[in-house]
Amino acid sequence: MSTLAIDIGGTKIAIGFVSNGSLMKRRQFPTPKVQTADEFAKQILDNCRDWLPDVARIGVSTTGLVSEEGISSINPETLAFPSPFPLKASLQKLADRPVMMLNDAQAAAWFEFVNLDTPIKNMAFITVSTGVGGGLVIDGKLHKGTTGLAGHIGHIAVDPDGPECGCGQRGCVETLASGTAIERISKQIFFPPVSNVHLFSIADEDDMAERIIRQSAGAIATLCTNLKAILDLDVVVIGGGVGLASGYISRVQEAINEKPNFCQVPVVAAKGNYDACLLGAAFQFNELN
């Protein structure tokens, strides 16, 4: 049975044609401006009309808080959904296929958990991308919480004097570590501005670039040690465009290793690589627990 996988991020949407658990075809395009859910769904489906005759079901992983009513933004600066945004119902109606939907990082967490080399019970997935998202597997079960909010670890406030976050708090991990945060900080330092990809490529010879990346990795390290203290995790899996950039995970691990032993935790790269959330979108049809 073939699945159309859709991963909605703050910057881009990736779509995949998944057959027997393998990603057979993949496309990506910039996230359209959010209007009505019907229009948003139509724009996604327009990008894969040729796949639809062979698609039996649709799995979506999306940035934002996913509930029965629809998607809501926790940080509207990442993607401003008019809340609740009933995208699942629109896709179901327009494509006439069963649709399942999860938060992007929750979907990736479950995919990564099932694909771990060593079976363990407690794991977090962290995506460092436009925002900082998270998914938690506790005692072998994906933990979504009462309202679906569980895992929104980018909005743990770690610096009371830090920058304002679009979620309404100050000093959230997302304001210190995300791709958006790195861009904001690097813009204050580099003129003309440099892209995040370029920033990583010059980090070896440019102290300032290295410092900006270390600040992000340091905030993710603090997040990991906090999560270890709360949940006694066995491992943290990291994904996302920034999270998977060359040398990022080793910088996070180095920062973790400077903390006391009890809260140290190993960090590894997502098996699904840049497509962990996309594969997770399709994978949610496999039993979640």
Contact residues toward Zn ion (CB under 5 A) are 155, 165, 167, 169, 172
Phi-psi region at 30: left, alpha or beta (left = phi > 0; alpha = psi -120 to 50): beta
Q: Which of Zn ion, ligand BMX, none is residue 165 near (CB under 5 to 8 Å by kind)?
A: Zn ion
Two structure tokens written together for 220: 């993710």
Q: Which stretch binds ligand BMX (CB under 6 A): 58-66, 84-92, 205-213, 260-268?
A: 58-66
Burial class (CB in 10 A: 0-12, 13-18, 19+), 208: middle
Distance, in Å, from the CA atom of 164 to the CA atom of 161, rounded to the nearest integer, reads 9
Contact (CB, 8 A) for 16 and 23: yes
Q: Which residue in the set 73, 122, 216, 253 belongs to the binding site for ligand BMX (CB under 6 A)?
A: 73
Sheet holding 12-19, edge to edge: 22-30, 12-19, 2-8, 57-62, 99-103
Answer whether 278's CB lies under 8 Å from 8's CB.
Answer: no
HSE on the CB side for 42, CA within 13 Å? 6
- For residue 179, give the 3-state DSSP assignment: helix
In the complex, least distance from residue 71 CB atom to ligand BMX, rounded to whole angstroms? 8
Q: By CB under 6 A, tell whether 275 contacts ligand BMX.
A: no
Residue 103 vs 196, nearer CB to ligand BMX:
103
Question: Is there binding between residue 61 and ligand BMX (CB under 6 A)?
Answer: no
- Residues 49 and 211: their CA atoms lie apart, in Å, by 45
Binding mask 164-193 for ligand BMX (x = CB under 6 A): ----------x-------------------
Is residue 284 near ligand BMX by the rule CB under 6 A?
A: no
Please name the residue ranges forming H helices in 86-189: 87-95, 104-114, 173-177, 179-189
Task: Answer whether 56's CB lies under 8 Å from 63's CB.
Answer: no
By CB under 6 A, is residue 10 in contact with ligand BMX? Answer: yes
CB of 13 to ligand BMX, least distance (A): 10
130: contact with ligand BMX by CB under 6 A: yes
Please state the closest distance from residue 135 (CB atom) to ligand BMX, in A: 8
Q: Which of 16, 70, 86, 131 binds ligand BMX (CB under 6 A)?
A: 131
Nearest approach in angstroms of CB 7 to Zn ion is 22
| Class of residue 37 by CB neighbours under 10 A (exposed 0-12, middle 13-18, buried 19+) | buried
Least gap, CB of 147 to Zn ion (angstroms): 16
Residue 132 or 249: the one with the smaller Cβ distance to Zn ion is: 132
Please report whether residue 13 would count as binding ligand BMX according to CB under 6 A.
Answer: no
219 binds ligand BMX (CB under 6 A): no
List of residues contacting ligand BMX (CB under 6 A): 9-10, 63-65, 73-75, 78-79, 103-105, 127, 129-133, 152, 154, 174
